Structure 1
């Protein structure tokens, strides 16, 4: 595929999964180009060396607006629409794995973007929980027919896109709106990106396709996942030519978790570690457990700091 690459968005606390994500790309898709959009200043040289990964970060993004306003949870991946090294791209969250040849869904001849087709529609309360406050969207965007898409709204952990299908001016308007009206659009970019995509498609500005290309792990029992995505000593076993992106958007696939089935990610993390350091067996498992522990400490530290900041803001407001 010409002028195409895969873009993985990550920050410090999910970099351990980004390495597994990139390893899954190499395992199933070969030498397809990869770019990492990095929110933060930590070193990602291991991925650069292992898989010849390109890097986009605060230093080399060309648009000043994106440097200042589009890094951070819920905004980092949006940079791909203007700064992608390739005209066409696949975006992946760090906590995903490619399973099979998902590139078969990349139909850029007929579409400018191809997104996941969810397994179910959303009643009003779920639209409000996961995507946007309905009453507010009806008030501020009365021309948007949100009900027409209640069976189409998707988790934005993965999608195929094309550079510059949105103008920066439109994005600025969305950023300004979300800052002025926090809480209307939900889950970072998920609410407003769904809104932007479907509004543009409704207005004939983009060609939007949908295929069932993403599996949301919390929707499935662990036993069903284990049966569907078996991992043997020799590696993942793809059944019935399945091609899908596995997305651990709830509990994360740390090595020894009991909450979800982590083996696809664990295998890929081991693959990366073997490629990077030559570690296998017990040594590899100990290293991955150390990564898991460090990641959890960082998660809880950030939660505490966030709560302290919120408490401080409330106290300042009361004065």
Structure 2
């Protein structure tokens, strides 16, 4: 495919998943170019050397606004719309893998952006939690008919897009709006990116395509996932021409959590470790489990720090000593 690559956004706590995502790309799609947009200043030298991965981070983003305002949870992926190394790209969250020939959905001839068409329909309460408060959208964006697209709004963990389909000023306006109205949109960029895409499509600013190609893991039972995404010792067993992006949006896949069906991601993480670091067998299992443990410890540590800060603020207000 001409002038095309795959972009993955990550930070230090999901970088180990991003490596699994890269492993899945190499397994199913061969040498398709890959770029990591990293929130942080750590590097990925082994992925760069073995997989030829490009890296975008705070140090080499060209646009000052993006460098200063578009890194962090839910914003890092937005950099891709202006600084993608390729005219056409597939975006993936770090906690995803590709399954089968996902590029069959990449119709850039007819569309500027191609998003997932959900096979499930959220309740009104779920929609208000996952995307935005409808009454506030009606107030602040009265020309946008949000109800017209109810049932079409998508999880932004994956999408196909062309570079520069949005005006940067439009994005800056949205960043300012979100800062001034922090309780309208939820889950990082998900709500306002959906708004930008569907609003611009409605007025003819971009050509929108929709296909069902994202599997949100928490929406399915473990048995359903096992039956569709079978993993053998030496390979991933794709049924027919099945192709999708598997997204662990919710509880994350680990080698030791039996509550989440994680074998497809585990296989891809092992594959990446073997190809990039040359490590297999028990040493690989130990290192992979250590990555999972370190992530969980980091999350618990941050939660503890937040609780302590909250307690200290309460102590100052009430005069109670802790």
Q: Distance in 1 between matches of 2:141 and 2:184?
A: 12
Q: Distance in 2 between matches of 1:311 and 1:133?
A: 30
Deviation at 1:307, TM superposition (A): 3.9
Render the CA deviation track for 1:178-212: whole Å, top value 9, x for unaligned.
00000211100110100000000011100000000
Deviation at 1:27, TM superposition (A): 0.4
Q: Distance in 1 between matches of 2:246 and 2:265?
A: 9
**Structure 1 partner of 2:63:** 63
Q: Distance in 1 between matches of 2:129 and 2:312?
A: 27
Q: Are 1:214 and 2:214 matched, yes or no?
A: yes
Q: Using a 3 Å threshold, how does the CA distance of structure 1 residues 219 and 84 change in structure 2: closer, same or farther?
A: same
Deviation at 1:244, TM superposition (A): 0.3
Native 8 Å contact 2:46 2:277 kept in 1: no
Q: Using a 3 Å threshold, how does the CA distance of structure 1 residues 90 and 317 change in structure 2: closer, same or farther?
A: farther
Render the CA deviation track for 1:94-133: whole Å, top value 9, x for unaligned.
0001000000000001100000000123332222111001
Q: Which has the higher mean CA deviation after the structures are superposed, 278-287 or 142-151? A: 278-287
**Structure 2 partner of 1:118:** 118
Native 8 Å contact 2:41 2:59 kept in 1: no
Q: Using a 3 Å threshold, how does the CA distance of structure 1 residues 106 and 256 change in structure 2: closer, same or farther?
A: same
Structure 1 residue runs without a partner (length 5+): none
The DSSP-based 3-state class of the residue aligned with 2:37 is: strand
Native 8 Å contact 1:111 1:208 kept in 2: yes
Render the CA deviation track for 1:1-35: whole Å, top value 9, x for unaligned.
10110000000000010000000000000000000
Q: Distance in 2 between matches of 1:110 and 1:315?
A: 59
**Structure 2 partner of 1:140:** 140
**Structure 1 partner of 2:87:** 87
Structure 2 residue runs without a partner (length 5+): none
Q: Distance in 2 between matches of 1:75 and 1:306?
A: 22
The DSSP-based 3-state class of the residue aligned with 1:13 is: coil
Q: Are 1:193 and 2:201 matched, yes or no?
A: no
Q: Are 1:176 and 2:164 matched, yes or no?
A: no
Native 8 Å contact 2:16 2:291 kept in 1: yes
Native 8 Å contact 1:123 1:150 kept in 2: no
Q: Are 1:236 and 2:213 matched, yes or no?
A: no
**Structure 2 partner of 1:273:** 273
Q: Which has the higher mean CA deviation after the structures are superposed, 211-220 or 279-288? A: 279-288
Q: Distance in 2 between matches of 1:116 and 1:219?
A: 15
TM score, norm. by length of structure 1: 0.96
Q: Distance in 1 between matches of 2:272 and 2:235?
A: 13
Native 8 Å contact 1:127 1:134 kept in 2: no
**Structure 1 partner of 2:254:** 254
RMSD: 1.6
Q: Distance in 2 between matches of 1:276 and 1:73?
A: 27
Q: Using a 3 Å threshold, how does the CA distance of structure 1 residues 165 and 313 change in structure 2: closer, same or farther?
A: farther
Deviation at 1:162, TM superposition (A): 0.7
Q: Using a 3 Å threshold, how does the CA distance of structure 1 residues 163 and 310 change in structure 2: closer, same or farther?
A: farther
- What is the 5 A alignment of 1:101-112? 101-112=101-112
Render the CA deviation track for 1:228-253: whole Å, top value 9, x for unaligned.
11110111010121000000011111
Q: Distance in 1 between matches of 2:46 and 2:9?
A: 16
Q: Which has the higher mean CA deviation after the structures are superposed, 291-300 or 121-130? A: 121-130
